[in-house]
Amino acid sequence: MNLHLAKCTNTDLDKLISISRETFIEAFEKQNTPDDFKAYMEKAFSREQLLNELEDPQMHFYLVHLEDEPIGYFKLNENEAQGDVKDKDSIELERIYVKSAFQGNKIGHFILDHIKRIATNKNKSYIWLGVWKKNNKAIRFYENNGFIRFGEHPYYIGSDKQMDWLMKLNLITLEK
């Protein structure tokens, strides 16, 4: 598979909107009420919201391509752009998605290897993330890749309060 990453710029906004919406719908639409899901989608993946995030120097989006087709993406946050943890030694993996047609091909491992490299090159000690506690497939993936649970926080889809597990991967121990 000829996979490669490209850091997003403002010129990638339409691709980012498209893949963000498509992958989030694939992953979560069936588990949420239509009104709450619609409200979340309109806010989180609006042109204005994603453009603001793209222009924030502490937020980094990357598209994952197979040949020339975007098949996934991820978003990293640093410093004050991070959610619960605002540690200069950490980086938050806020989003990591692969189109459902391409799942099961180790693309998540490919992405995670690059995220580890990016974090290490930025001298980060650990990567952390929030994952919906009912998303067993994702939790298994993270656990199989060395992430451990260290807390939880609420996450809202519209007005529906859900619970995310906070997980982290210690990059220092990986180097030994």
Of 89, 168, 100, nearest in space to 130 by CA: 168
Question: What DSSP state is assigned to residue 125?
Answer: S
Specify the length of the chain in residues. 176
Phi, psi (degrees; rounded to nearest 5) at 102: -110, 0
Rounded CA separation 125/134 (Å): 28
On whether the CB atoms of residues 159 and 38 are closer than 8 A, the answer is no
62 in active site: no
Active-site residue among 97, 142, 155, 156? 142
Active site (catalytic) residues = 142
